[in-house]
Amino acid sequence: MLEQELTQLLGADALVIHPDDRVRYEKGYRYGDGRAAAIVRPRTVHDVSALMRYAREAGHSLLPQGAHTGLVGAATPGAGGKHIVVSLELLREVTIDPVGRTAVCGAGVLLSALNAAAAEHGLTLPIDLGADPSIGGMAAANAGGARLTRYGDMRRQTLGLQVVLADEDGTILSDMRGLRKNNVGLDLKQMLIGTGCAGGIITAVEVELQPVVTQAATALVVPRSVDRIGTVLAGMERRLGPFLTACEGMSANAIAAALDHHPALPRPFASIPPFCLLVEASSSIPMDDGLDMETMLANSLMEFLEGEDAPLSDVIIGRGTDFWRLRHAISDGLKASGKVIGMDIAVRRSDIAAVRQALTSRVNARFPALRICDFGHVGDGGLHFNLVAPSDDPAAGAIDEDLVRSFVYDTVVREFGGSFSAEHGIGPANVHFLERYADVKGQALSRAIFEVLDPVGILRR
Amino acid sequence: MLEQELTQLLGADALVIHPDDRVRYEKGYRYGDGRAAAIVRPRTVHDVSALMRYAREAGHSLLPQGAHTGLVGAATPGAGGKHIVVSLELLREVTIDPVGRTAVCGAGVLLSALNAAAAEHGLTLPIDLGADPSIGGMAAANAGGARLTRYGDMRRQTLGLQVVLADEDGTILSDMRGLRKNNVGLDLKQMLIGTGCAGGIITAVEVELQPVVTQAATALVVPRSVDRIGTVLAGMERRLGPFLTACEGMSANAIAAALDHHPALPRPFASIPPFCLLVEASSSIPMDDGLDMETMLANSLMEFLEGEDAPLSDVIIGRGTDFWRLRHAISDGLKASGKVIGMDIAVRRSDIAAVRQALTSRVNARFPALRICDFGHVGDGGLHFNLVAPSDDPAAGAIDEDLVRSFVYDTVVREFGGSFSAEHGIGPANVHFLERYADVKGQALSRAIFEVLDPVGILRR
């Protein structure tokens, strides 16, 4: 019945039917393994609009989905089988405006596809993520990534959206005019960015592009203690300005897990330090203009190695991608070593050392069986405070995850005024923490606004 | 009666009574000369909250005001005497976090005061404007300015807001936690930025700061024709990357008006070209690190001077601020030469030449008595398309301003998909154009959302 109606509406080839084909739409990347009422792949924004009108009339729930790479299950259908998954992956047209330095992308365009098209003009969307998400999904999640410190989040890159509203007409609202400035009252797109399509389905995105990086250097930087990181970071920012494009932290446990799991990785340290930074200097300006990232990066660090009480005990400069390979191997390494309780927190940047110290001593005291394997974007005040229950310790594996999370988030949010979801967003996996921590008045306002945007709740989970 | 009640609420010294003192709160910088029901200067956010509750009970309208430097009369009371002006100028505390690279500012802190405090730590808020606005006003207007091309608008710099809501409790909603990443659903502050406090009164702002500029070079760049600007701009962006911090356009008429009015200004041209660019390369990285902005700027331009069909016919490199003095003298120069019809438009950056050509030929044909004196932020697709009715031509002075604006905006908005208010925002001076051009559904949504935020209309004009 439902499938018949959808076929009539969108054509037979718009439905994904075969169980083998359905898996990637129904199984989440990290969490969730649900069952969709149906899975459709509209080919145009008008299809999406027709679908919205149909869902409203027939009382169905729609769940928009991009590349389905999110980490909080926001695009994964629930077990109840109530959602029609609307995969936007066929909306994959890209148009580059090299003079305007912008790109118009269908919501389903993959980040890799956009960057391939942009590279022909020496341009790129400068958001660097482990996954290959769709541009629509990146806008819906307000993606961040490892170079946010230099380029900002997806909100910053987004110049315009095309959206299908959840009103009775399935209105198509479009602001794809490539404007960098347009101050004429409420900027509606800001309500769609980062809210997971709770107010409408994003069908296309216009982004600003940046010149591609032509040279980069990295360094592993070992602080004498974690509370010295702030001084080093501020000093590097003074010396490197916009060339400082990443500042990632890695704990000894995180590095060890990566090296154990990937024995072929180069081993930069004789013995792994308790915590180190991976810093990157990169530039779109080529070296033949006299700028050399490796020299500048080294110079920015030297002063911190001098003297008995120097903030740094070691600096290892590298060209190429070795250190990034180490950094990107952490997630897999942790997964291989046990059950991971992944947490994506952020605090005021100057509080990173203090929050890390507080969390470490408290978690060690309360949950000694869990291994603290934190890493992440400390240059932005972010930390993936991940805990591992080792595979060989069943007692550790039996610890209640939600109890651990509440224990950690209470410190982060209530003591440090931090965030329990820095860049992964809100989905079924963590929405109950929103209820725990969010300001009551603020939440009531949000709800009232989403009721304006989606009065009958087509897009509410 | 009203004054008595306000005195009781906030203390006698919170009211501005004397006619001489009232002028700067009642007379707009460019437009408007109204009469306030009362003028109050609360000293704390709790005063503002009390005022909000009082206004709601007593049925008064509040009009928040910062430094009153806006260009569309958004903070200027109307002639009807119905508004209580709430000047936030006494909320002027500043706290700098040099490691976090952030500043917490009361809404009344002046940009100059923030930058003086930040400079002690080698930091700055990188928004460059002709006026000296308050930080709260900059957030409410989403200020842009001459360096938006490098640093983005005020939305981009804002990490948190403290806001007094227009609800029955005068709720204080605060997000001043210095977080660079916090993706937990709807980001309420995005609805307050750029909407002129239509949804609540901004009482404090937390901003991200950037390292101060330590070296800068400028050049006057003469294109062989305006349609060659795009190529030059894209090439400069490739060569200069983040060091290209401004790209301003200036028409011959605009330059002539500036030079006529300020005879002491240096005269860089033997004869003024029809249109030229003022480009700036600047950097926080000092020259002693081997980087020289003047050399880099010159090198980025040289290739465009080569060959018979070169895009540029002339380049004049300057250090110091001479060219900026010329640029900043334009507004005064125009004012001195006649009646100015100021327009603040933006289009897709790659359309700048085309929109300028269309507007010029049409305005010359339809309103030959008006002198076209355009200039502005062409690097962002912005243009102050200002027209002057010369003082010695009464017929020109009698031309209906609104007719001219509609004529220009119709081309900009309807043909080029541009904006009739790039960075000045919406106020009594231009709100009727919002009704003319805005998408009907989008406007209905905006209104419904503002009704959620301000159900009885305390903050609606």
CA separation (Å) from B114 to B109, B111, B133, B138, B202? 7, 5, 11, 12, 17
Please give the DSSP secondary-structure letter assigned to residue A461.
-
Domain with residue B153: its CATH number is: 3.30.465.10
What's the token pair of residue B369?
A: 């008595």
Render A30-61 in DSSP notation, one character per residue.
SS-B---SEEE--SSHHHHHHHHHHHHHHT-E
What's the token pair of residue B411?
A: 């081309």
Residue A436 in any domain: the answer is no
Q: Which of residues 370-399 of A touch B (CB under 8 A)?
A: 377, 380-382
Residues B157 and B226 in one domain: no
Residue A445 in any domain: the answer is no
CB burial of A185-204 (b: ≥16 within 10 Å; e: otherwise) equals bbbbbbbbbbbbbbbbbbbb
Render A401-430 in DSSP notation, one character per residue.
HHHHHHHHHIIIIIIT--BSBSSS---TTT
Residues B6 and B81 in one domain: yes
Residue A116 in any domain: the answer is yes
Is pLDDT above 90 for A1? no
pLDDT of A30:
83
Closest CB to A350: pick one of B100, B238, B448.
B100
A414 in reach of chain B (CB within 8 A): no
Closest CB to A346: pick one of B97, B179, B190.
B179
Domain with residue A405: its CATH number is: 3.30.70.2740
Closest CB to B238: pick one of A122, A141, A437.
A122
Q: Does B101 sit within 8 Å of A177, measured CB to CB?
A: no
Residues B34 and B78 in one domain: yes
B337 in reach of chain A (CB within 8 A): no
pLDDT of A402:
95
Radius of gyration of chain B (CA): 23
Residue A439 in any domain: the answer is no
Q: Does A241 sit within 8 Å of B242, measured CB to CB?
A: yes
Distance (Å, whole) CA B25 – CA B34: 9
A106 in reach of chain B (CB within 8 A): no
Please give the DSSP secondary-structure letter assigned to residue A68.
S
pLDDT of B290:
84
> What share of chain A in percent tops pLDDT 90?
94
A142-168, pLDDT tens digit by residue?
Answer: 999 999 999 999 999 999 999 999 999
The identity of residue A236, as a single letter, is M
What is the least distance, in Å, from the CA of A447 to any CA of chain B? 9
> How many interchain CB pairs under 8 A, A with B?
261
Q: Which residues pair with B161 in a beta bridge?
A: B205
Q: Does B173 sit within 8 Å of A185, measured CB to CB?
A: no
Per DSSP, the three-state class of B45 is helix
Best A121, A162, A184 residue to mutate vs chain B (most B CBs within 10 Å): A184
Residues A184 and A146 in one domain: yes
How many CB atoms within 10 Å of residue B331?
20
B141 in reach of chain A (CB within 8 A): yes
Residues B360 and B401 in one domain: yes
How many CB atoms within 10 Å of residue B312?
21
Domain with residue B253: its CATH number is: 3.30.70.2190
Kindly state the greatest CA–CA separation across chain B: 77
A321 in reach of chain B (CB within 8 A): no
Which residue, of A328, A357, A379, is where some domain finishes?
A328
- Give the domain range for residue A42: 2-87
Closest CB to B181: pick one of A153, A186, A191.
A153
Is pLDDT above 80 for A320? no
Contacts of A243 in chain B (CB under 8 A): 285
A347 in reach of chain B (CB within 8 A): yes
Contacts of A122 in chain B (CB under 8 A): 238
Residues B223 and B320 in one domain: yes
What is the least distance, in Å, from the CA of A417 to any CA of chain B? 6
What's the token pair of residue B353?
A: 């030449």
pLDDT of A64:
98
Strands B387-390 and A215-223, by their bridges, are: unpaired
Q: Does B187 sit within 8 Å of A190, measured CB to CB?
A: yes
Q: Which residues pair with B83 in a beta bridge?
A: B61
Q: Is A356 left (phi over 0), alpha (psi -120 to 50) or beta?
A: alpha
Closest CB to A181: pick one of B181, B291, B380.
B380
Per DSSP, the three-state class of B389 is strand
CB neighbour class for B146 (10 Å; exposed up to 12, middle 13-18, buried from 19): buried
What is the least distance, in Å, from the CA of A389 to any CA of chain B? 27
Q: Does B190 sit within 8 Å of A381, measured CB to CB?
A: no
pLDDT of A289:
79
Count of domains observed in chain B: 4
User: What are the average pLDDT values for consecutive 10-residue runs of chain B, which has 461 residues?
Assistant: 95 96 93 92 98 97 96 92 97 97 98 98 95 97 95 98 97 97 96 93 98 96 95 94 97 97 92 97 90 94 94 90 93 96 96 97 98 97 97 94 97 98 92 94 96 95 81
Per DSSP, the three-state class of B108 is coil
Residues B355 and B301 in one domain: no
Residue A367 in any domain: the answer is yes
> If residue B431 lies in a helix (H) or strand (E), which one and from where to where?
helix B431-437
Q: Which chain B residue shows the shortest CA-CA distance from A176?
A: B417
Closest CB to A100: pick one of B167, B348, B417.
B348
Residue A444 in any domain: the answer is no
Which residue, of B27, B61, B87, is where some domain finishes?
B87
Q: Does A453 sit within 8 Å of B173, measured CB to CB?
A: no
Task: Say if CB B189 and CB B277 are below 8 A apart.
Answer: no
B367-390, pLDDT tens digit by residue?
Answer: 999 999 999 999 999 999 999 999
Residues A44 and A131 in one domain: no
What is the least distance, in Å, from the CA of B424 to any CA of chain A? 7
A70 in reach of chain B (CB within 8 A): no
Q: Which chain A residue shows the shortest CA-CA distance from B454?
A: A445
Q: Which residues pair with B124 in a beta bridge?
A: B210
Contacts of A195 in chain B (CB under 8 A): 185-186
A180 in reach of chain B (CB within 8 A): yes
A245 in reach of chain B (CB within 8 A): no
Closest CB to A381: pick one of B142, B180, B184.
B180
Best B72, B177, B183, B248 residue to mutate vs chain A (most A CBs within 10 Å): B183
Domain with residue A16: its CATH number is: 3.30.43.10
B240 in reach of chain A (CB within 8 A): yes
Residues A345 and A273 in one domain: no
Render A336-395 in DSSP notation, one character per residue.
HHEEEE--EEE--GGGHHHHHHHHHHHHHHH-TTSEE--EE-GGGTEEE--EEEETT-HH
How many CB atoms within 10 Å of residue B256?
16
Distance (Å, whole) CA B114 – CA B106: 10
Strands A172-174 and A158-165, by their bridges, are: antiparallel
Contacts of B148 in chain A (CB under 8 A): 180-181
Residues B236 and B134 in one domain: no
Closest CB to B419: pick one of A99, A181, A377.
A181
- Model ipTM value: 0.96
Please give the DSSP secondary-structure letter assigned to residue A243.
G
CA separation (Å) from A21 to A15, A36, A80? 10, 12, 19
Residues A322 and A349 in one domain: no
A138 in reach of chain B (CB within 8 A): no
Strands of the B83-87 sheet, one edge to the other: B38-40, B83-87, B61-65
Residue B277 in any domain: the answer is yes
Which residues lie closer than 8 Å to B389 by C-beta, 6 or more apart? B338, B339, B341, B369, B370, B371, B396, B397, B399
Per DSSP, the three-state class of A35 is coil
pLDDT of A386:
98
Best A72, A186, A291 residue to mutate vs chain B (most B CBs within 10 Å): A186
Q: Does B382 sit within 8 Å of A446, measured CB to CB?
A: no
Mean pLDDT of chain B: 95
Best B129, B180, B285, B413 residue to mutate vs chain A (most A CBs within 10 Å): B180
pLDDT of B139:
98
Q: Which residues pair with A382 in a beta bridge?
A: A346
A14-46, pLDDT tens digit by residue?
Answer: 999 999 999 999 999 888 889 999 999 999 999
A440 in reach of chain B (CB within 8 A): no
How many CB atoms within 10 Å of residue A273?
17
Q: Which of residues 188-207 of A touch B (CB under 8 A)?
A: 188, 190-191, 194-195, 198
Contacts of A153 in chain B (CB under 8 A): 181
Q: Does A178 sit within 8 Å of B348, measured CB to CB?
A: yes
Residues A369 and A321 in one domain: no
Q: Which of residues 32-51 of A touch B (CB under 8 A)?
A: none
B233 in reach of chain A (CB within 8 A): yes
The identity of residue B184, as a single letter, is V
Residue B144 in any domain: the answer is yes
pLDDT of B31:
81
Q: Does B234 sit within 8 Å of A426, measured CB to CB?
A: no
Q: Which chain B residue shows the shortest CA-CA distance from A143?
A: B183
How many CB atoms within 10 Å of residue B457?
13
Q: What mean pLDDT do residues A397-411 have?
A: 97
Q: What mean pLDDT do residues A362-377 have?
A: 98
B170-197, pLDDT tens digit by residue?
Answer: 999 999 999 999 999 999 999 999 999 8
Taking the CA atoms of B60, B66, B72 and B76 in sequence, report the sign of the dihedral they define: positive
Q: Does A231 sit within 8 Å of B425, measured CB to CB?
A: no
The identity of residue B126, as a single letter, is P
How many CB atoms within 10 Å of residue A425?
26
Q: Does A446 sit within 8 Å of B181, measured CB to CB?
A: no
Which residue, of B211, B240, B273, is where some domain finishes?
B211
Contacts of B149 in chain A (CB under 8 A): 180
Distance (Å, whole) CA B287 – CA B279: 19
